[in-house]
Amino acid sequence: MPAWMILAVAILSEVIATSALKSAEGFTRLWPSLVVVAGYGLAFFCLSLVMKTLPIGVIYAIWSGAGIVLIALAGWLLFGQKLDGPAVLGLGLIIAGVAVIQVFSKTVSHG
């Protein structure tokens, strides 16, 4: 599986785990707590695989940037959390930053 696909799995696993963390209510609810542990475990395992082939700074920038945006969307969709104009602008800038890294960075080997 290409490194970028593994990175996508890491990002999605982290987003699922973080979303479940809210529902776990301080690890007092079993099933959401298990999703948290499994999701973060898979996320970090996949992240460790990607680090074998891609630069750590680029990986972390993409992982954290995409995670921030997706968690904000999950909060909005799943938990009814509101995003004001500055929040939406900031999320747009994060997306733009990740796109710049993906498209223009010479440090990224798209393998």
Q: Tell me the per-residue pLDDT of 96-106, one tens digit each, with 9 for 90 and over.
A: 998 898 888 87
Residue 34 in tokens: 């298990």
Provide the residue ranges of all domains of the chain, joining segments of one domain with +.
Answer: 3-104
C-alpha span between 91 and 102 (Å, rounded)? 17
**Can you give the pLDDT at residue 66?**
95
Using a cut of 0.95, tell me whether the model's pTM lies above it. Answer: no
Q: Does position 81 have pLDDT exceeding 90, yes or no?
A: yes
Q: Alpha-carbon distance 67 to 75, whole Å?
A: 12
| Interacting residues of 109 by C-beta distance below 8 A, sequence separation 6+ | 53, 54
What pLDDT digit, counting tens, does each position of 40-70 carry? Answer: 999 999 999 999 998 998 899 999 999 999 9
User: What pLDDT is attached to residue 103?
Assistant: 85
Nearest Cα neighbor of 73 from 62, 61, 87 is 87
